Structure 1
Amino acid sequence: MKTRRTVWMGLSTFAAGAAIAPLAQAQTKPAPHAHDAPAKPTAGGEGGEGGEAGAARAQSLSANLKFYRAIALIRGHLLVGDELVKAGRWAEALPHFLHPGEEIYPTIKGDLRAYGLRPFESGLKSLAQTVKAKRAEPYGAAIELVRGQIAPADEGLRKMEKDWTRFVVETALEVLRQATDEYGEAIEGGRFAKVVEYQDARGFVWEADRLIESIADALKAKDAEALESLRADMTALKAAWPSAMPPAKPVKDLGGVLGDVARVELHAGRFL
């Protein structure tokens, strides 16, 4: 891992009481689902979802962090896609099963072996085809197959990262940054014009939360008060996505979401 990274968007300014509006103005809206060059374990491409804003951030990440970010984004897509399937919204779910195979997998397929993974492109394609055909019976097995295929990434990276807790926190923060890009892209004219981006953001936020909770015991042992604050911050952030289908009007504008993420980063910084 690199030395301690500068906290995103200038948290010292935020902590001092700076307004959130300039953050929203500074946020660069990415082109919908534009993606980066393949990641390389040694030299490193950007690796993963993100458009211009995500690509610029990914340039500064270590190879391990770029790879785990990509895995987390795939999991975020599967998470929200699964939620939509369980609600009977197969058509709305389909993009979230297509994007991992079409947009993220190609950026990491050359690095799978280095992290203990076997190719899982066929699993992604089979899952997407199952959802497209609205085949409820084989769906459960198809999604569990893909989840199992990417599970070795956790063990593979844990062997490489001496400070696993810090690494997971850093990954969660990267996923949240991508969520803000997607959320900003979703809103036009005070409404959610791009439903898929709203859902992408939801899946990524929920995956970031899952990552944090996966190391909650270690975080609590290090700083129980900071963990409590971090959890409260995540709860406040998640309120922007009351359901998998967007509300008629945003619960929070982009500035509000950026402010919530800045608070998450402020308390997560205690663990970095």
Structure 2
Amino acid sequence: MYEKRKVWLAVGAAVLGSSAAQANSTDLEPMQHHNMTIVAPFAGEGEGEGEGEGSGIVDLRVNDSAYLARLGLIRGHLYVGKKLYDQGHLEMAKTHMKHPEDELYAALVPAFTARRVTGFGEELSALADAVIKEQGDDAVNTAYTHLVNAITAAEQVEKKAVKDVLMSLSTMLLTAAEEYDIGVKSGNVVNVHEFQDAYGFTTIAKARIGELTEAQQDAHAAALEEVEGILANLPELWPTITPAGTVEGDSSELYGAAARIELATLN
């Protein structure tokens, strides 16, 4: 986590005027920025390694950007799992299916209660069962559609401040960058699961702006245009989600995009 945080802070410095190459070589002491936190479960819980943990404690019951980011991470896992399934990579797809007892979902349960929204534990189980028990394409497609609809209902993006929606994108891209760091070393994919997770998180982050209502988009047109440009200019870091050999990707692109989106949100 220390090395990842160094890179994140270095790229943040790069956004403010240094080159990415200089940033990656800068030895910065780890520090916390009040907005630069990955989603953590709840105030009072211990820190730990893993997606959305270890860099800051937030309360998903009241923190909208963290809540949306956590839901986005779940979406990302499921998205890449479904894509792998559709491409015929069944065993890989199984590893991305989440269960209600999974930590990503479990941390959200009190938030669902506090926010008076319905969770989607049954839908998660239905999709996981359909894939893992190999129930067939019709069962998988139906379960996936029902689950995506249930997640959308829990997100309620149309009721959130646009600033919080955009900050959730920054958090998701930061998490994607950290996963990419784990997955790719010196151009070699050493952990394909994390490489795939990074793809899923980035894809969902790019798509989330489309969930905003027309009124939300009109009220924040300038910021949204800037963020859309940042996302559109991300290079292709995943030539395939089942890589063989080397890839040309660099996680600094994701770290930099996360930093630039945060800056755009704060301006």
The yes-or-no answer on 1:235 pairing with 2:232 is: yes
- Following superposition, the deviation at residue 66 of structure 1 comes to 2.6
Aligned to 1:192: 189
- Following superposition, the deviation at residue 199 of structure 1 comes to 0.8
Change over 3 Å in CA distance of 1:71–1:140 after alignment to 2: same
Change over 3 Å in CA distance of 1:190–1:235 after alignment to 2: same
Is the partner of 1:71 in helix, strand or coil?
Answer: helix
Aligned to 1:5: none
Q: Deviations over 1:89-136 (max 9, x none)?
A: 121111111367523111112222222333432321221121113321
Equivalent-residue separation in structure 2 for 1:84 and 1:137 (angstroms): 16
Equivalent-residue separation in structure 2 for 1:198 and 1:208 (angstroms): 16
- Following superposition, the deviation at residue 23 of structure 1 comes to 4.7
Letter in 1 for 2:234: L
Aligned to 1:4: none
Structure 1's unaligned 5+ residue stretches are 1-7, 29-34
Q: Which moved more, 1:239-248 or 1:197-206?
A: 239-248
Equivalent-residue separation in structure 1 for 2:54 and 2:175 (angstroms): 11
Equivalent-residue separation in structure 2 for 1:215 and 1:77 (angstroms): 22
Q: What is the percent sequence identity of the aligned residues?
A: 26
- Following superposition, the deviation at residue 266 of structure 1 comes to 4.2
Q: Give the TM-score normalised by the residue count of structure 1.
A: 0.75
Aligned to 1:136: 137
Aligned to 1:106: 106
Structure 2's unaligned 5+ residue stretches are 1-7, 31-37
Paired residues in the alignment total 247
Equivalent-residue separation in structure 1 for 2:188 and 2:266 (angstroms): 33
- Following superposition, the deviation at residue 179 of structure 1 comes to 0.6
Equivalent-residue separation in structure 2 for 1:63 and 1:219 (angstroms): 21
Equivalent-residue separation in structure 2 for 1:201 and 1:263 (angstroms): 18
- Following superposition, the deviation at residue 260 of structure 1 comes to 4.0
Is the partner of 1:140 in helix, strand or coil?
Answer: helix
Change over 3 Å in CA distance of 1:267–1:169 after alignment to 2: same
Letter in 2 for 1:190: G
Equivalent-residue separation in structure 2 for 1:149 and 1:265 (angstroms): 28
Letter in 2 for 1:237: L
Q: Give the TM-score normalised by the residue count of structure 2.
A: 0.76
Equivalent-residue separation in structure 2 for 1:214 and 1:124 (angstroms): 21
> Hey, which of these two has a bigger chunk of helix by percent?
1
Change over 3 Å in CA distance of 1:51–1:21 after alignment to 2: farther
Aligned to 1:149: 150
- Following superposition, the deviation at residue 210 of structure 1 comes to 1.2
Aligned to 2:174: 177
Change over 3 Å in CA distance of 1:216–1:147 after alignment to 2: closer
Change over 3 Å in CA distance of 1:254–1:24 after alignment to 2: farther
Q: Deviations over 1:203-244 (max 9, x none)?
A: 1111111112323854465344x5444333213325112332
Letter in 1 for 2:122: S
Is the partner of 2:9 in helix, strand or coil?
Answer: coil
Q: Deviations over 1:129-168 (max 9, x none)?
A: 211133212111111222222222233x755x4xx21110
CA contact (8 A) 1:117 1:150 kept: no
Change over 3 Å in CA distance of 1:58–1:238 after alignment to 2: farther
* Cα root mean square deviation, aligned: 3.4
